[in-house]
Structures are given as C-alpha cells and as structure tokens.
Structure 1
C-alpha cells in the first residue's frame, strides 16, 4: 500500500514542474527505499553474506563489485546492521535520480517515470543494479549532450555496482553509427542481431559445461537461463504494455534523433530479452533512451491532456505489473519501515526469511540456502 501511495503521489507531482516538488518527491523516494526493511527477496542472500561471509579486513571475501563491497566495508567497520547498506545505496540512488530529473525538461514527470519503471524491482529489490541504473541514466544525458568523457565516467561508476552496466559503453559507438547511416535500417539490423544474440547466448549458458566453465559462476548463469526473463513471459499482458512503449518510441522518431531510434530498438529488445533472465536485466538500461521518447510525447502541444494522461496511465500500469507475479503479490503490502521502528517494532528478519523462502519454494523457486 505504501508503494502504491507513493506512485500516485509522484503521478500528482507531474501536474507541476516546480523544483520544490522535485525535492520533496526525491526525499519521499529516499525514505521509502532506505526504510524498506527485509522487503523483497534479494536481501536474504545479501544479509546472509554480510553477516556470515563478508570480512572488512579480508578482501578475499569481497565477492561483489567494488562499489557495493566498499559500502559493506564502511558499514561493517562501524558494526552497523545490514540495513545501513540499503540506506547508503538508497542515498546514492536518490542523489543520481534527483540529478537526472533536474537535467530534463519535465523534472517531476522524469522522477515519476523512473520510479514506475525501476522502483519496485530494481530500486527496492535488486539494489546493486538499481544504483547502477541511476548512474547510467545520468550518463546518457551526458552522451546526448556530447559530453563523452563524463558519459564514460558515469558508466564506469555504474559498473562498480553491477558489472553488466559496462556494456553501456557501447551506447557511444551505437550513437555514431545511427548518425552515419540510415537509422531505420540500423534499427532493423539491431533488432535482428539482438534476437539472434539472445538465443545464441541462451544456448551457450544451457551448455556452459561444454565450454569448461563450472562452479558458482556456471550455476548462477544456468539459473538465469532456466528462469523466464520476466514475471509474465513473452506472450502476456506485459507484451501489450511493451507494444504501447514501442508505439511511443516509434512516434518520437519524427524528431529524427539517434536517441529516439535507439529507444525503438530497446523497446523491441525488451520483448526479445524475455527469453532469458540475464538478457532481460540488461534491457533495463535501454529504458534510459525510452525516457526521451516519453518526454517528447509528454511535451507535445497537440492533444496535450490526452497524451499526458495516457503516458501516466501506462507508467502506473508498469508500476503495478510485478503484481502479476504471485511471488511479488505476497509481499506487496508487507512493508516495514526502518525509520519508524521506534514507533512500530520491526519483525524478526529470521522469521521473515523463513516466510519469504517458503513463498519461493511454493512457487517452484530454489533461492534460499547456505551462501556459497
């Protein structure tokens, strides 16, 4: 319920472009994300690793990217609870979101867009990639404004939290290709290459042992391959939503900017990537370009009210799409705020872990167990 309320508050904020509202909404986002105590499922492995494996003075136990490991180092050095890792990540994430919003014309719509697309899954659940995504958001602004050095710096910062974001460096040469050649033809070629690459990658992962890769990495990759890319699959209600996004991106190509054609490619790639979870995760980064198409349509003078209401509706549906998955329906209203723990006692995280693991097992997902 708290998540739903915040989505609607951010939607109402779209009615104005006042900077004060941007600040207030950014604070609300931070309080929601940083206060999310044992929310979702990824925290189970992170907390277990933080409490039982990670040693601040032994870098051999630093299994995650350096940015995330450094945060753990600082919090563990002060003997702080794992929740302070969440708080620190949420602070970095919110600062990046606020910076990105200020760099765009419709700042409050920008915040609303980012939270609806990323808020539930990436920001509150997959926190490492959530932080990385916010760095990539800012990086694409610099790329579109020919500030390529800053673009590279922000992508590298993103990779310090989730190594997959290093692939976003490809945005730079892609932009040059789009400018040099016919963007329509390039988009069609990219869509074809994207589809072939995903299924080739899936074949490789499913047969990873043939390539001499084993152990933790092989198990993790095979886990990605055996799971669907999204909670609703390729042929689903989610597909209709993705088609709407494609339509918005395609309409924005009237401006004939490379970023809008990249938005078309990534909006199609989102559908293609549902064949394999690891590719679907990479498709998140494409929403940074899709935002420019949404902002273009949001700013149209013709049929302004209709366009804006349509975009807000699409984004609200995006925000609640995770509820199609029974795993996430179970936790939707189970929000406990760390900041209110002095008034409303927090539940025992061990009991919550048992409940979460039981939900996963009931849905055929083997996620819990000893950290390796």
Structure 2
C-alpha cells in the first residue's frame, strides 16, 4: 500500500535536490540525484540495510565537510535525514516496526507499507528473495540473533536449485562457524553458487568469493567490510560499498561501471570487465589495476598511487602521472604521445608502452633520450620501430612530449 500526502506536480526528489545539490561536486551529482530518487521511491524489497547504504553512499559522494549534513540514526536507529545549513530537514526517511517506510521532504509525505504477502489488488512491495530463497523476517528487519541468521541461511539452503545444494550446505556451515567463532574472514569457496543469502555474518571484515561461482549480483554488504574479493564471477552490478572498504578486487566479471568508491579505498583491481569510464578516484588509492576494459579516458590520478595498469584499453592519452609511481603498464592502447610528468618517475620505476601507435616524433625523442649517457630515469619498454624490431628496456631521463 502507498499513502500520499501533499502531492504536487514537482517530483519530491527534485524539491529536495534543489536544496542539497550544492553538497556534491558536478561529477557526483548525477549519481547523488539517482540515489535520492531511489530513497524517495524505494523499490520492492527495500530493507533498513538498503536505507543505510543509500545514505552512506550520499555521504561518500558529498564534498568533505558536507557529509556531516547527511545522517543515519539521528533520532533513533530507524530515522535517516539530510539537513540544511540551519539544521532543518531537507529529506527524511523513517522506518517503523510495522514495516512502514515514510518519506518526508519539503511538505511532501509518502508512506510505503512493505508487507510480506501480496494482498489482492494491492501493489506488491514486499521483501523479494527471488532465486536466493525466502525470508521469515519483515522487510525492514535485519537478523539480530544467531537463531534469526540461521533461519535466513536455512531458507536460502532449502531453496537451492538442482546441483547447488551441496555447495549451499557447505557455505551455510561456514557462515555458522564464522558467526560462532567470530572469524572476521568469510571465504565461500568455489561452490558453484548463483546467489548468496541476503544477510551475511555482520561482523566480517573480509569477504572472498573466488572463481567457480556464478554470481550475477551481490546483496547488501556487511557495514564493517574492509576487503571484498569477487574474482571471475558474472557480476553485472555492485551494491553500495561500505564506507570503510579499503580493498576492492573484482576482476573477470561483467561490470560496465563501478559504484561510488569509499574515500579510504587503497586498492582497486577490476581488470577484465566492461568499464567505459571511472568516476573520481579516492585520494589515498595506491593500486589501480584496470586492464582489459573499454576505457577511453582516465580521471585525475591520486598523488599516492604507486601502481597503475591500464593495458588493453582504448586510451588516446594519459593524465599527469604521480611522481611516486613505481609501475606503469599502458601497453596496447591508442597513445600517440606521453605526458611530460613521466620525467618525475623514480629511476627504479618500470614503464611498459608496447603496442601503442606513438608518433614518429615521440619515438625519436624516446630513442634519443634513452640512449643518452648518464640518464637516470625510469626503465621504459616500447616498440622501437614496429613489431619486427626487438623491444628494448631503456631508461627515460627527460620529458617525452609531442
């Protein structure tokens, strides 16, 4: 059921957006608006964890300092809001024990009644488990006890499709042991899984989903997660990432884009996906491994970056390079020239430029500079004069610019 009050021709998300869009930089505004739109119009199956994730995503997207205007749990654990500079609510969401999800913004109020069963003639907005099984908990309630977690996991195990029962049973036992022993690491193994339960052990800080699984999506992630590794699955999307995530490894999936990256992320491995662009990168990122995608440009690179691998993309140019970069692999792109900042790389740095259509001027400059006596630049590998000529590893001493 949906109850509406003070409906107007202006969508509620736009009324709220006009009040808070200045909290976000231009590159994040589209994603922030979409997040607010989802908050105002919650999809079927929305839970409290989803609400937390969406408000945390807004905090991640906001300018430094502006995230303090975005609250979850300000008036109790089921109240979430965005405040203006005068501490007045721009947008709020309140959940109650009856499963009501109430949105209030700029004189507009809408209550979604999230039920477990579909009543005749009433819009279905209950918690939808789909292929992962059924849940005995209300849509907005996360498990609170070991017994409640076990009930969710047992339901997921019982709903196993043919050929997956043994794998699900093994994972359920692993989660039970994890919850009982307080183990911060959950490795589901290569069990041939197509889904995971909607609720994982809440205390884990590291989640490993290796190859030989076939996940197309992930449900909400534990809020304290620090490391997420999902290699060689079939992921086409990722949920909102926990704010404290430090390592994200998702190579060999089918991701066309990534969600907002947490500010504390240090490692991002996403080779072998379908990425066409990247949003702003966290300032402390040290490893960026994104080879074999469809990238045509890169955002500004963080000053702390130490390793950059973007081979087998479609890059026509590179941004300025951090002076402390130690590994740079940009082979098999569309580079015709190189940034002048390449001279700032340390002498022990290694650079691979193989397979790029570097201009004749750039090649000539490279040959001259790397053969000069007394050079002390990075070791650089490039095609000297076409594929028939042996490749050489040389040091780059001066700027190479077209």
TM-score, length-scaled by structure 2: 0.25
- Report the structure number with the largest CA radius of gyration: 2
Structure with more of its chain in helix, by fraction: 1
TM-score, length-scaled by structure 1: 0.26
Structure with more of its chain in strand, by fraction: 2
Q: Greater relative contact order (Cα 8 A, min sep 6): structure 1 or 2?
A: 1
